[in-house]
Structure 1
Amino acid sequence: MFHPLRVSAIERITDDAVAVTLSVPAELRETFRHAPGQHLNVRHRVDGEEIRRSYSICAPATEQPDASVLRVGIRRVDGGAFSTYALKELAVGDTVEAMAPTGRFVLDPRPGLYAAIVGGSGITPVLSMVSTLLTREPLARFCLIRSDRTADSTMFLDEVADLKDRYPDRFQLVTALSREEQAAGLPSGRLDRERLTGLLPALLPVPDVDGWFLCGPLGLVRGAEAALRALGADRSRIHQEIFHVADVETSLPAAARAASPSESRLTATLDGRSGSWPVEDGESLLDTMLRSRSDAPYACKGGVCGTCRAFLVSGEVRMDRNFALEPEETGAGFVLACQSHPVTPEVELDFDR
C-alpha cells in the first residue's frame, strides 16, 4: 500500500544527487519505522504512466517509532524518469507516494566489528547503518571503505566526515577516488578484486569481521565479494545490495526459453487473499498477477530491489536474473516474481511469508 508523504526538505548534495526529506504523519510512524539499510519504494506518474523506483534511506533508525521524518538519497540516472523529476521538478510541499520501508540488506545494532565496501550511491543505506550502530551500540566499531569518481561527486561527504569527528576511535574511513588524486590517502584508481585483496588485510582482520556490507555497482560488489572469500571471510557474514546492472546480459538460451510449458497457471497469495490466473506467453509471474492485482508488490522490475520476493510453494520457475536474493534465500525457496517464468504447468507463490 502506498501512502502520501509531504516533502519537507530537498538538499543538493552533489551536482547530480539530492537528499529528500519526507514528513511522516503521527498515525503512520509505526508503518514507516525502518531498520538501518532498508529502502523506500516510491511512485510517480509521468505522462500518465506510473513510474516506481526504490531509494535507500540514509537517516539513522530510531529504536522507537517517534521519528517524524525520513531522508532518502537520489542520484540522477541517465534516462531515469523519477530521478530526473526529483532533481529538476520536485519541490518542498509536494507529495510523494511511498510504501512502508522494505529490504533485507540491514544491520542489527550489536557489539562487534563491522565493515562496508561501497561505491557511489551505495553509501546511502550504509550511512544509515553506520550512524545507527555507532549511536546505539557503544561496543561496536565500523570501517567504511568507499569509492567515488571525484571528491565533488561524493554523496554525503559532510555526514561521513561528521561521523569521523564524533567517533574517532570507533569509525575508520578509507576513501578511494577513481578519477582524481588525493592529497592524502589511497592513490587514484578503482577498487577492483586485485586491489582489495592487497588492501583489506592491512586494514582489518578480514575473517574476524562480524559483518561485511557491500553496496554499489555490480562490478564493485562482485569484485569485493571475491576478494573477501579469497581472504577467508565466511560467506554468511557477507551481505550485498547491487545498484546499476543495466549493462548485464539477460537474454536466455533457446533451450531455457523452450522449457516453458505451452499453458501454465499461477496461484498466488498476497495479504491473505489468494487468486489464480493463466500465464500469458512470455510474461513474468509478476506481470501475470498485476493484470488482476494492482497491489502486487514491485519497484524496479529488474531483479535488483527484491520488493517482489515471494515463496515458491509448489511448481518450478526459472529466473532471468537475480541481484537481490542471497543464496540462503533462494535455497530456502524464495524467488523474484518479476524475473520468474513457469517451468511447470502449475505454479504457486506466497507473498506473505
Structure 2
Amino acid sequence: MMRFYSLYVQKVIRLTSGSVRFDLLIPEHLKSIFHWKPGQFIRFQFEINGEIVERDYSICTAPYEGYLSFVIKRTKNARVSKFVQEHIKEGFYVLVSAPIGTFGIPSRPDEKRTLAAFASGSGISPILSIIKDTLYHESGVRFYLFYGNTNEKEVIFKNELTKLREKNPNNFFPYFLYSQQKMQDKLFEGKLDAHKIKLIINQIMNWDELDEALICGPKEMIVTLANAIYEHGIPKKNIHYELYEPVEKVFHDDKIKRSTVKEVKVTFTFQQSTKTMNWINNGSSLLTALLDSGVDAPYSCKGGVCGACICSKKEGEVYVDENLILTENDLKNGKILTCMSHPKTETLIINLDDV
C-alpha cells in the first residue's frame, strides 16, 4: 500500500497563463525518503468535494537543488488541475508519495556523449530535471533540447532554459518550436513529428553523434518520435520516454503475445486482503481487469514505463509485453507489470502488495 507524506508548500509561481509551479519543502527527517532521481515523479492525494483522488506529477528540479518542484498545467475539463491551481496556496500542506518511476538516464561524468531531448508542453518537467542534473555532473556532455509549444507565451521554463544555455554555452543547446506562431526560420514552425525531426537532426546535429534520446509529451508524439529515432539507427534501449497516457505498444515492430485462454480465475492480495475475480480475455490487460472489477490497484502510465503497477506472481502464467522496467531476472523471480500482462493460464495468483 502506497504511503503518503505531508509536505509544506513553500512557494507557488505562475509560469504561463495555464501553468503553475509548486515548490515543496522537504523536512530533515524525510530527506532520505525524498532523495529522487532526475526524471522521477511523485503521486499526490487530494480530497475534492469529499472524494479522494490521486494524480502523478513529474519532478522538475534536480536533486542537487535541495527542494522538490512540480508543475501543473491546466487543461479543459481537468478538474484536478483546476482544483490544485485554485485551492493549493503557499503555506498549505499536500499529501505526497515518495518519488517513483524509471524515466531518465544514469549519470556518466567521466564520458563525453551527445544527448537529445524532445518535449511538448508540460512534458518539459522531467526533461528539465534530467538536463539540469546532467549539466551539473557532466562537463563533457552535449545536450540538445527540442521543445514544442503552441506559441512562445506558452513555453514553460523559458527563462530558466535560457539561463541554462547562457551558463553552459558549450554543453546545452535548446531549440523552441511553435505550432501556432509564425517563425522567421520555418524549420522551427510546426509540430514535433517524424518529418520535422529528420529535418532538425540533419541541419543541427548528426544522427551518428546521438548516444541517447529522451521523449516526453502526448502519447502520439512519443510513438511517432520514438519510431523515427529508432529507424535512424538509435537502439531501443537508448530511447527513453515517459508516458502520461496508456498505449498498447510504442515501437511498431514490437510483438504482442496473445493466448486462446478465454477466462482466468485471479486470486489477488491487495492491502493485506485476499480476494478472487474472473478475468475475461477480451484483449485487455490484467490492470484493466482489476480496475473494472472495482479494485483500486496501483498504476500510473499504463504503458510499461513507470513501474507503479509492479507486483509478484505466485502461481500461474501471463504474457508480459515488452517494457522498460522488468529484466529477465525480474521475470524469472515472478515480477510482472499488471498493465502489460495478458492471460496465459486459466488460474493466476498475484500479490499486489509485494513489489
- TM (normalized to structure 1)? 0.82
Q: Give the SS at the match of 2:29.
A: helix
* Contact 1:144 1:173 (8 Å CA) reproduced: yes
Residue number in structure 2 paired with 1:7: 9
The CA distance in 2 between the partners of 1:170 and 1:15, in whole Å, is 30
Residue number in structure 2 paired with 1:195: 196
Cα pair distance change 1:244/1:147, threshold 3 Å: farther
Pairwise CA distance, 1:184:
5.0
Pairwise CA distance, 1:185:
7.0
The CA distance in 2 between the partners of 1:304 and 1:238, in whole Å, is 12
Candidates 34, 38, 42, aligned match of 1:36? 38
* Contact 1:213 1:239 (8 Å CA) reproduced: yes
The CA distance in 1 between the partners of 2:36 and 2:42, in whole Å, is 9
Larger CA deviation: 339-348 vs 325-334: 325-334
Q: Does 1:108 align with 2:106?
A: yes
Indicate the RMSD between aligned Cα atoms, in angstroms: 3.3
Residue number in structure 2 paired with 1:155: 156
The CA deviation string for residues 92-128 of structure 1, in whole angstroms up to 9 with x for no partner, is 1111101000110022221322111111111110100
Q: Which amino acid aligns with 1:192?
A: D
Pairwise CA distance, 1:211:
1.6
The CA distance in 2 between the partners of 1:142 and 1:331, in whole Å, is 33
The CA distance in 2 between the partners of 1:153 and 1:211, in whole Å, is 27
Cα pair distance change 1:149/1:329, threshold 3 Å: farther
The CA distance in 2 between the partners of 1:52 and 1:302, in whole Å, is 18
The CA distance in 2 between the partners of 1:14 and 1:245, in whole Å, is 27
The CA distance in 1 between the partners of 2:220 and 2:178, in whole Å, is 16
Q: Give the SS at the match of 1:14.
A: coil
The CA distance in 1 between the partners of 2:18 and 2:313, in whole Å, is 40
Query: What are the equivalent positions in structure 2 for 1:1-353 lying under 5 Å apart?
Result: 1-62=3-64, 67=66, 69-110=67-108, 111=111, 112-183=113-184, 186-244=187-245, 259-261=261-263, 264-268=265-269, 276-279=274-277, 284=288, 286-287=290-291, 297-299=298-300, 305-317=306-318, 325-326=323-324, 333=331, 335-337=336-338, 344-349=346-351, 352-353=354-355
User: How many correspondences in the alignment?
Assistant: 331
* Contact 1:36 1:129 (8 Å CA) reproduced: yes
- Give unmatched runs, 5+ long, in structure 1: 249-255
- Give unmatched runs, 5+ long, in structure 2: 250-257, 281-286
